[in-house]
Amino acid sequence: MAGIIVATVITRRRWAAQGGRVDDVLDVVTWAVPFGILGGRLYHVITDPELYFAAGREPIRALYIWDGGLGIWGAVALGAVGAWIGCRRRGISLPAFADALAPGLVIAQAIGRWGNYFNQELFGRPTTLPWALHIDPANRPADTPEIALYHPTFLYECLWDLAVAGLLVWAQRRYRLTNGRLFALYVAAYTVGRGWIEALRVDHANHILGLRLNDWTSLIIFIAAVAYLWRAPYGRAGDTAPEPEQNPTTTRAERV
C-alpha cells in the first residue's frame, strides 16, 4: 500500500508535466490497483497450484492474499487491463499514461519488496557475505535448518528497482521516449535484474528445462519488450488526451 501511494504521487506529477489532468491518475489507479492485486494472486496460484490444491492442502487458502503470494507479472498484466479501462473512461492515451507511470511503478516494487524482509520469505542461498540476512529457524529451508545466513534477495531487487527508476528518468530526458516506449524499457530492464535475482532464490518454484518458471516468464517478456521498443511507432511527447475536435467538451485549460 505504501508503494501504491508513492507511485500515485509520482505519477500525478509526471502526468501533469506531460500536459495531463492530475485527477486522471486517481481515476485510473482506482481501476488498475484492484485488477493488479487480482492478477498478481491469480499468477501465483496458477504457477504454484500444488501449494493449494495438492492432497492435504487447503484450497481456501488460495484466497488468503495476506499470507503472501502476489506474482508481479500477473499484477502488471491485469493491472494494465484495469488501467486501460480507466484511461478509456477518461479519454486518454494508455501508452502515454504507462510512460508516466513507469518510474513510480518500479519504485513501488522497490518498496513492496521490503515485505519479504518482514515476513522472512523469498530469500536466496546461504552466504557468509557481510550483508547476509539472518533467518529465524522456523523460516529456514528444510534442507538447511542449521544455516542462519542467506542472500537478501529482497534487498538486491529493491536496489535494482531503484536503479531502473533512475535509468527511466535519464532515458526519457536523453531520448524523449514516448508512445509506451518508456514503459517497455522499464519491463526490459526489470526482467534483466529479475533473472539473476531469481537464480539466487531457494523458495519453492516449478522448473522447466532446469530453469525456474519465473525465469522463463522474464525471458519471454524481455523479448516482447525489446520488440516493442524496436517496432512501436513514435508518438508526440505530450500525447496525453484527445485533441479538442475529438473531445469537444474538454477545453485546453482543462487538459493542461
pLDDT of 246 reads 44
Least confident of 15-19, 112-116, 236-240: 236-240
Q: What is the model's pLDDT at position 253?
A: 42
pTM value? 0.85
Per-residue pLDDT at 251: 43
Q: 215 near 199, Cβ under 8 Å?
A: yes
CA 81/CA 221 separation, integer angstroms: 17
> What 3-state class would DSSP assign to 42?
helix
pLDDT class for 240, splitting at 50, 70, 90? low
Cα 162–Cα 165–Cα 171 angle in degrees, nearest 5: 145
Q: Tell me: pLDDT of 105 over 90.
A: yes
Integer Cα distance of 122 and 237 in angstroms: 39
**8-to-5, 38, 179 alpha-carbon distances in Å:** 5, 19, 20
Q: Which is more confident, 46 or 168?
A: 168
- Per-residue confidence band for 204, with pLDDT thresholds at 50, 70 and 90: confident
Q: Which residue has the cell 529465524?
A: 136
Residue 48 corresponds to which amino acid? D
The rounded distance, in Å, linking the Cα atoms of 27 and 8 is: 11
Q: How far apart are CA 223 and CA 187, in angstroms?
A: 10
Mean pLDDT of 227-242: 67
Q: What is the pLDDT of residue 234?
A: 67
CA 87 vs CA 149, 235, 253: distances in Å:
46, 17, 19
Beta strands 149-150; 207-208: pairing state: unpaired
Q: Which of 33-42, 125-134, 199-208, 234-243 has the lowest mean pLDDT?
A: 234-243
Confidence of residue 148 (pLDDT cuts 50, 70, 90): very high
Give the range with max mean pLDDT: 37-46, 177-186, 224-233.
177-186
Q: How many whole angstroms separate alpha carbon 251 and alpha carbon 256?
A: 9
- The residue among 98, 27, 38, 25 whose CA lies nearest residue 70 is 38
List C-alpha distances in Å: 244 to 21, 111, 223, 238, 252.
14, 39, 37, 14, 7
Work out the angle between the directed axes of helices 213-231 and 72-90 (0-180°, nearest 10): 40
Q: Side chain identity at 103, as an amino acid letter?
A: P
Q: What is the mean pLDDT of the chain?
A: 87
Q: CA 46: distance to chain centroid? A: 18
**Mean pLDDT computed over 160-184:** 95
**DSSP bridge partners of 169:** none
Q: What is the mean pLDDT of residues 210-219?
A: 85
* Range of 13-17, 46-50, 193-197, 211-215 with top mean pLDDT: 13-17
Q: By C-alpha distance, which of 127, 187, 186, 185 is closest to 153?
A: 127
Closest by CA position to 7, among listed 18, 20, 28, 19: 28
